[in-house]
Structure 1
């Protein structure tokens, strides 16, 4: 509840607000199917336009689905697979209900995961594959239908992409860009086993203790068995500079409390921060 308020949301709808303890799954909260039905109905009570964020929970350990759905979904190769079948069904039911609401055709839906899971295939067990998640944009009746953007994108691209699609012109601070813009650089960064990682195009760079420790062609070497540090400096060197800039920007903004435009505007001298990351990336 406290985080939701700090993030700027006006209302929170959790298990207490759901108010049916009989639906409690015994572990995390309310299973996806009934909770998403509740969500669709609560969204219909909100004045338009609105922003709503939903966090589902059934597809988390111990991967328990409601008893009435036992044997309804394929078990697959991992415990989570049956659970994902249920969550997919719950999402389908949500859209069936949402499509009957007056806000449906005026809504942009973004569907993603907060993190990946242990992979079954070898390519999803690497330092790159361990972070692979889906990100879907769905705007009913729009030309997004059938669009497959194969560029590298990441969670921090979601906000700039949404703001661009909605035509919002306000200033903002982000560590990503518009996924659908040809002018925005497309990259992803994360932290794995003590190393910062930057992924651009076919390359993945690992940076630890102020040194480049790994450089891989993840298109030709999906399992990351061949470390190419020092062998492709034309690509490696600018990526090293960019990961340094990202680390510096984030740390400095966190220390100086300048992670939002409102924070930055408290100190006009800090305006240089707004252009530093863009210059480093470009």
Structure 2
């Protein structure tokens, strides 16, 4: 009587086994790379990959499970044949994707996604691309996968037992429906806050191939469809030669400019990079914002090196992280971090510093799977990641994870054990919505603006406590501390999505490695998050050529932009800020949204050229 209701969990298991077989096929097909992995790493490709396998299996189980719900009410309904045909069709499609993937990975270096769709309108090119493939071997693998899938199905799932005669319809429907509802858990990869994504299966800091092997190909193909990766640049405002020339001028140093001042007491200091969630200049006193909200940052401006006119590259955390660590501009309708195969080609401070002996770590109180950040950080070469699951459960006292004072405590503990020179990055989270913080409110009232003020004040306070403790540590005297925001905020004042005020953020340098005579100095040049990596590497005497979208903020600005410039993106639009004013442009409507009267036509052309060229670069990654 119970055997009929074993079918659904066994059907889910069937797809897990099919996907495990596909992964084994991938590893064997690429044996030269697989042989470079140790046995534990090979095993982890299956262990970590099971989350995406389970999500894909859950999607494939939805229709058969709903058919079994209907069969519970209509016992004579012959669903076994329908499920068999459906499984055969889906199994053939999975086998086809598996075979296409194992060969395309050899040529492309990334797992199959929606990229082949661009060839559907060019069958000749598609045939030419497949010309060098070992078609006989691939056909043999395809046939083997079909036979294995058929054998598994026959051995595990046939025949489908009839529904027991005395088993009531309501009970039968209830059991089948319960199994269907339980699919929601594997479908989203578990019960965590953020649905499963590629980051959840990335585990290796040294072998990108191992991370790639853990990806489920059918899931990856379907997941990539809504991303709508463009193949042509929709932002063709100028002839390409003109756009390239205008962008090159933005980074061309003045002919008579001398060397940039040295701000460090030593050539290879430790670097501690602190990224503050949503810290808008509107709440930072020394940047002309409200007084009394960020006393720590305002104090650092008097004792460190501050930059008054820095703007975020975008309006989301994942965009700010890429801009700060890779010096890479944002995209107006998507984000490069959604495409791990693109972010693997980006430069990154962790990799640049790691090449000269720096030990790297990244600390975050939340889940790094959020917005694919984990895959980005692992591809960047970070050697150690600390995230929500690494904190004690009692310390996960925020909706997002561990509050900032807990994060800074863990950071302080970790830096005591980290070999020098180190490059450590910490990313706060408490000033993110819903702005709940473990501190007595400094600003009365429950308005969203005051809740936000209190959350910023709390993080500023936690940062101050951390810095006071850090100054007592042995590593402080040889450490440069870089403090920047990931993006700004519309509060207070409800700035429009295109307004420069929403993107204005703090950037400060402090620490024992800073030259004493530069402390308290303020830099007026206009710049972007994309300039931070270049500025830091230039001070360390390291190459910056890979960071083509950044300039040294401490060097003389280019002749084309005497006071510097900042470019930022919002939803299908961009803005350019220079000392003479700002202009915001709507890409969809192809018109100016807002423009200061002092802004020249050349500034708009520079923004259009930047948008055009940066998106060309994104498409080519």
TM-score by length of 1: 0.75
Match of 2:572 among 181, 185, 194: 194
Q: Does 1:238 align with 2:602?
A: yes
Question: Are the aligned partners of 1:137 and 1:144 in contact in 2 as well (CA < 8 Å)?
Answer: no
Match of 1:181 among 524, 548, 555: 555
- Residue number in structure 1 paired with 2:595: 216
Stretches of structure 2 lacking an aligned partner (at least 5 in a row): 1-373
Distance 1:207-1:191 versus aligned 2 partners, 3 A rule: same
Q: Does 1:105 align with 2:484?
A: no
**In structure 2, what is the Cα distance between the partners aligned to 1:206 and 1:82?**
31
Query: Offset of 1:207 from its aligned partner?
Result: 3.0
Choose between structure 1 and 2 for higher RCO, CA contacts under 8 A separated by at least 6 residues.
Answer: 2
- Residue number in structure 1 paired with 2:440: 70
**In structure 2, what is the Cα distance between the partners aligned to 1:130 and 1:84?**
15
Match of 2:408 among 19, 36, 39: 36
| Residues 119-198 of structure 1 aligned to structure 2 (within 5 Å) | 119-121=491-493, 127-140=499-512, 141-142=514-515, 143-184=517-558, 185=561, 186-198=564-576
Residues 201-241 of structure 1: per-residue CA shift (max 9 Å, x gap): 12212333484514633xxxxxxxxxx4xxx7xx5332233
Match of 1:83 among 455, 461, 472: 455
Q: Does 1:94 align with 2:463?
A: no
Local SS of the residue matching 2:527: coil
**In structure 1, what is the Cα distance between the partners aligned to 2:548 and 2:427?**
22
Query: Offset of 1:29 from its aligned partner?
Result: 0.7
- The alignment's C-alpha RMSD in Å is 2.5
Query: Offset of 1:90 from its aligned partner?
Result: 0.7
- Residue number in structure 2 paired with 1:273: none
- Residue number in structure 2 paired with 1:248: 612
Q: Does 1:14 align with 2:387?
A: yes
Question: Are the aligned partners of 1:58 and 1:64 in contact in 2 as well (CA < 8 Å)?
Answer: yes
**In structure 1, what is the Cα distance between the partners aligned to 2:618 and 2:511?**
34
**In structure 1, what is the Cα distance between the partners aligned to 2:504 and 2:398?**
29
Distance 1:212-1:147 versus aligned 2 partners, 3 A rule: farther
Distance 1:236-1:211 versus aligned 2 partners, 3 A rule: farther
Local SS of the residue matching 1:27: coil
Question: Are the aligned partners of 1:152 and 1:201 in contact in 2 as well (CA < 8 Å)?
Answer: yes
Query: Offset of 1:114 from its aligned partner?
Result: 1.0
TM-score by length of 2: 0.36
Local SS of the residue matching 2:422: coil
**In structure 2, what is the Cα distance between the partners aligned to 1:212 and 1:201?**
22
**In structure 1, what is the Cα distance between the partners aligned to 2:545 and 2:614?**
18
Larger radius of gyration: 2
How many pairs align? 238
Question: Are the aligned partners of 2:436 and 2:451 in contact in 1 as well (CA < 8 Å)?
Answer: no
Query: Offset of 1:74 from its aligned partner?
Result: 3.6
Distance 1:75-1:178 versus aligned 2 partners, 3 A rule: farther
Distance 1:174-1:41 versus aligned 2 partners, 3 A rule: farther
Local SS of the residue matching 1:84: helix
- Residue number in structure 2 paired with 1:203: 581
**In structure 2, what is the Cα distance between the partners aligned to 1:124 and 1:26?**
29
Residues 21-78 of structure 1: per-residue CA shift (max 9 Å, x gap): 1011241011111210110221222221111111101111111112xx324x344852
Query: Offset of 1:149 from its aligned partner?
Result: 1.4
Question: Are the aligned partners of 2:586 and 2:593 in contact in 1 as well (CA < 8 Å)?
Answer: no
**In structure 2, what is the Cα distance between the partners aligned to 1:160 and 1:170?**
6
Query: Offset of 1:170 from its aligned partner?
Result: 4.8
**In structure 2, what is the Cα distance between the partners aligned to 1:53 and 1:203?**
33
Query: Offset of 1:139 from its aligned partner?
Result: 3.4
Q: By percentage of residues, which structure has more helix?
A: 2
